[in-house]
Structure 1
Amino acid sequence: MKNRIVRAVAGIFIMISLLLAVYVDQNWLWMTAFVGVNLFQSSITKWCLLEDILKKLNIKD
């Protein structure tokens, strides 16, 4: 369950930042890059802040 939530949140953030980049300002693409870098970092270090937050909220795997 946690894994699905993390993927959904990442996908939502990417879609929102792309929409903001198209309709508001291209600088919102930095948010897309930030999410991508965090996904890459979590694949290397096996640590994700959102997973820690979900663990504290008692969301089960």
Structure 2
Amino acid sequence: MTVERLIRIMAGTVVLISLALGYHGSPIFVSEWFLALTAFAGFNLAQSGITGFCPPAILFKKMGIREGGSACSTK
């Protein structure tokens, strides 16, 4: 498992959970304010793509998770 792959898994999980908690039709609906977390995750993905700065990546590297490789290899 690489840092890039973990970032994608984490971002996707945050988006799915926050949508489930913020959508009125969801059986686990809590509040519409959870949709703000979805927006934050999208904003963070966009800014990290543009600037290359991603705080979770720094944390994962310090935890000893290897860097490199692509999550979408064409092998």
Q: TM-score under structure 1 normalisation? A: 0.95
Q: Which has the larger radius of gyration?
A: 2
Can you list the C-alpha shifts for 1:3-31, whole angstroms capped at 9, x where unaligned?
A: 11000000000011001102111111000
What is the root-mean-square deviation of aligned Cα atoms in Å?
Answer: 0.6
Unaligned runs of 5+ residues in structure 1 are none
Aligned runs of 1:8-23 on 2, under 5 Å?
8-22=9-23, 23=29
Q: 2:34 aligns with which of 28, 35, 48?
A: 28
The number of equivalent residue pairs is 61
Which protein has the bigger helix share? Answer: 1
Aligned runs of 1:43-58 on 2, under 5 Å?
43-58=49-64
Unaligned runs of 5+ residues in structure 2 are 24-28, 68-75
- The runs of at least 4 aligned residues of structure 1 exceeding 2 Å deviation read none
Give the Cα separation in 1 of the matches to 2:4 and 2:50. 16
Q: TM-score under structure 2 normalisation? A: 0.78
